[in-house]
Chain A
Amino acid sequence: MKLTLKIWRQATTDATGAMHTYQLDGVSEDMSFLEMLDVLNEQLNASDEEPIAFDSDCREGICGMCGLMINGQAHGPEVTTTCQLHMRSFKDGDEITIEPWRADAFPVLKDLCVDRSALDRMIQSGGYISANTGSAPDAHAAPVEKKKADRAFDVATCIGCGACVAACPNGSASLFLGAKITHLGELPQGQPERWDRVIGMVSQHDHDGFGGCTNIGECASACPKEIPLDVISQLNKDLRTAMVKGR
């Protein structure tokens, strides 16, 4: 198939960016979206135009490195990561707009690459259980109710791609935060630090300039791992409890 691609190009963080239009012919529907961009880059390289920078690593939907705004939707029209989106979701003659994640907490580094280290900083501010190596009791010391273990797992599948932030009209990272708060809060091992964790992570979230949540729900529909909005409620509940406890 033949496509018209409108792609955001920006040389550096401080440079002014703009949309550029490219024509690409011979796209097969078996290609993944990123393979389609690989083909475009080969073509650009051959015609002495610098290839488009975009992030990807595992290309099997688990590492969270890829993430493009495709036709105004984070990761495109399907519920999956950009790398798992295939060209059979498009048709001959389509015009596709491709932009980077846009949030001031995620500055553009070049073209479609953004800096998501703000997500790491939130984890640094409490998104862990303090268990030094070697200090652990036997794994069977604390049984975990299956229901809780399953819920913890379901929300622990967050891949940290940032699609929730990209899709949120407020630029909030509440879904990301809520997923980690819920994961660790469901487990007995996560209880001792539960209230400090939520205060620490939320403060860092606000400090890094993410927006506040108004429960619109675009985040959950953009999430390739289908993390539900429940986790934001859980986040709020934990935050409220933590404030009552005076942390």
Chain B
Amino acid sequence: MAVSGLLFIAFTLVHMYGNLKAFSGQEKFNDYAHHLREFGEPILPYEGFLWITRVGLLVALVAHVTSAVILARRASRARTTKYQYKKNKHSALSSRTMRWGGAALLLFIIWHLVNFSFGKVNPQTGETGAAAGDPYTLMVDTFDVWWMTVIYLVAMLALGFHLHHGTWSATQTLGYTNTATSRQRAKQAGWLLAIVIAGGFSLVPLSVMFGIIE
């Protein structure tokens, strides 16, 4: 859980950085998207790097979801009779919403891949595949639809929550937070990554919505 989670943290950080290319304009953004396919050539074949990443992420996803399912099942078996009344004392909301938040993120990722990667669905024109337009057009068209932006922003909120608890939780599970200080640092890192990654991702749809990116 922790290892695959850390992998996702690294991926989302790079992904978010790449997205910010949107602010450099259509050409630069499309160049970046194309460059990803040529990354590592000639040692790697065309799209080689992309596929290694995709396979790696898929394995991590399977591991992450499997661990989550195992933990959830163990938890539900550990307490089959629920409390009539239960209050939580000091735990963060993010820590208690990992399961539902995670499931929501999974649904979102499926749509996100259909939207931008495998299906290339342009919600504005209804076109799919190559007809949906170049990556930049597809992005701007998508976020011009207000409810798509809302979906993406809600997903980023969920991602922020997930990262907030996930970051500190991963360091704790890996045994790096044996003191009060290191525990505090891990929690601060959780805040930082949640704000930077979820915030960074949100900049693009927000900018489209407010017409900063056209």
Interface: B84 (CB within 8 A): yes
Interface size for B (C-beta < 8 A) is 38
Nearest Cβ distance between residue A217 and chain B, in whole angstroms?
5
* Closest CB in chain A relative to B179 CB, distance in Å: 6
Tell whether A125 is near chain B: CB-to-CB under 8 Å: no
B175 touches which of A8, A69, A233 (Cβ 8 Å): A233
Does B172 lie within 8 Å of A215, measured CB to CB?
yes
Contact bitstring B176-187, A, C-beta under 8 A = 1, else 0? 111110110000
Contact stretch, chosen from B89-97, B155-163, B206-214: B89-97
B82 pairs with A102, CB closer than 8 A: yes
Task: Contacts A71-B85, A169-B96, A217-B95 given; indicate if A233 touches B176 (C-beta within 8 A).
Answer: yes
Q: CB distance B78 to A171 under 8 Å?
A: yes
B188 within 8 A of A: no
Binds B, one of A47-55, A83-91, A236-244: A236-244
Cβ of B113 within 8 Å of any chain A Cβ, yes or no, is no
Chain A residues lying within 8 Å of B173, measured Cβ to Cβ, are: 213, 215, 236
Tell me if A212 and B70 are in contact (CB < 8 A): yes
Is B89 within 8 A of A221, CB to CB? Answer: yes
Q: Which residues of B contact A142 (CB under 8 A)?
A: none
- Nearest CB in chain B: distance from A145 CB, A: 15
Q: Which residues of A contact B90 (CB under 8 A)?
A: 217-218, 221
Q: Please state if A212 and B74 are interface contacts (CB–CB under 8 Å).
A: yes
**What CA separation (Å) do A216 and B177 show in the bound complex?**
14
Closest Cβ of chain B to A11, distance in Å, is 15
Identify the interface centre among B74, B79, B86, B165: most chain A CB within 10 Å of its CB: B79
In the complex, the answer to whether B71 meets A230 with C-beta atoms within 8 Å is no
Q: Which one of A72, A211, A213 lies within 8 Å of B87 (CB-CB)?
A: A72
**14 A/B residue pairs, CB under 8 Å, sorted by A:** A6-B84, A19-B84, A71-B87, A99-B85, A102-B81, A103-B79, A104-B77, A209-B78, A211-B77, A211-B79, A214-B98, A214-B169, A233-B178, A233-B182
Kindly state whether residue A105 has any CB partner on chain B within 8 Å. yes
